[in-house]
Amino acid sequence: MEIKQRAFGSGTTLYSIKNDRDVTLEVCNHGARIVNLFVPVGEEIRNISMGFDTIEGYLAGETYWGATIGRVAGRISNGKFVIDGKEYHTPIDEVTGHALHAGNFDKKVFDTTTQLNDTEGSVLFTTSVPDGEDGFPGNLHVEVEYALNNDNEWSVTYRAQTDKPTLFNPTNHVYFNLHGKPSQTIEEHTLQISADYYAPLKADNTPIGTKESVADTPFDFHTPKVLKDALHAQHLQIDGVKGLDHPFFLEKSNPLLPSVCLISPNGDLKVEMSTTEPSVVIFTANFNEDGPIMRGEKFIHHGAITLETQVAPGAEQFDSFGSIELRADQPYYSKTIYKLIVGEK
Ligand code: GAL
CATH for 95:
2.70.98.10
- 173 catalytically annotated: yes
For the chain, the domain total comes to 1
b/e map of 33-72 (b: 16 or more CB within 10 Å)?
bbbbbbbebeeeebbbbbbbeebebbeeeebbbbbbbbbb
Q: Give 219-269 as a DSSP string.
A: T--SS-EEHHHHHTS--HHHHHHTS-EEEEEEP-S-TTS-SEEEE-TTSSE
Q: Tell me how far the alpha carbon of residue 34 lies from the centroid of ligand 1, in angstroms.
A: 16
Atom 10 (ligand 1) nearest CA: 100
Atom of ligand 1 nearest to the CA of 285: 12
Active site residue: 173, 179, 246, 302, which one?
Answer: 173
Is the Cβ atom of 96 under 6 angstroms away from ligand 1?
A: no
φ/ψ region of 205 (left if φ > 0, alpha if ψ in -120 to 50, else beta) reads left
Q: Which pLDDT value is given to residue 105?
A: 98
Atom of ligand 1 nearest to the CA of 171: 7
- 101 catalytically annotated: no
Is the Cβ atom of 199 under 6 angstroms away from ligand 1?
A: no
> Is 345 a residue whose pLDDT tops 60?
no
Atom of ligand 1 nearest to the CA of 69: 7
- Tell whether the torsion through CA atoms of 15, 101, 275 and 324 is positive or negative: positive
Report how far residue 326's alpha carbon sits from residue 267's, in angstroms, rounded to the nearest whole number: 41
Q: Tell me how far the alpha carbon of residue 61 lies from the centroid of ligand 1, in angstroms.
A: 14
Q: Indicate the DSSP class of residue 146.
A: E
pTM here is: 0.97
> Is 344 a residue whose pLDDT tops 70?
no
Give residues with Cβ within 8 angstroms of 175, minimum separation 6.
Answer: 49, 50, 51, 65, 66, 285, 303, 304, 305, 306
> Is 255 a residue whose pLDDT tops 80?
no
**Domain residues for 274?**
2-342
Assign 194 a pLDDT band (cuts: 50, 70, 90).
very high
Nearest to 11 by CA among 54, 49, 48: 54
Assign 256 a pLDDT band (cuts: 50, 70, 90).
confident
Q: In the predicted model, what is the mean pLDDT of the chain?
A: 97
Is the Cβ atom of 299 under 6 angstroms away from ligand 1?
A: no
| Whether the Cβ atoms of residue 107 and residue 127 lie closer than 8 Å to each other | no
Is the Cβ atom of 283 under 6 angstroms away from ligand 1?
A: yes
Give residues with Cβ within 8 angstroms of 72, minimum separation 6.
Answer: 90, 99, 101, 102, 103, 136, 167, 168, 169, 316, 324
Query: Degrees (nearest 5) of the Cα angle 230, 235, 240?
Result: 100
| Whether the Cβ atoms of residue 210 and residue 321 lie closer than 8 Å to each other | no
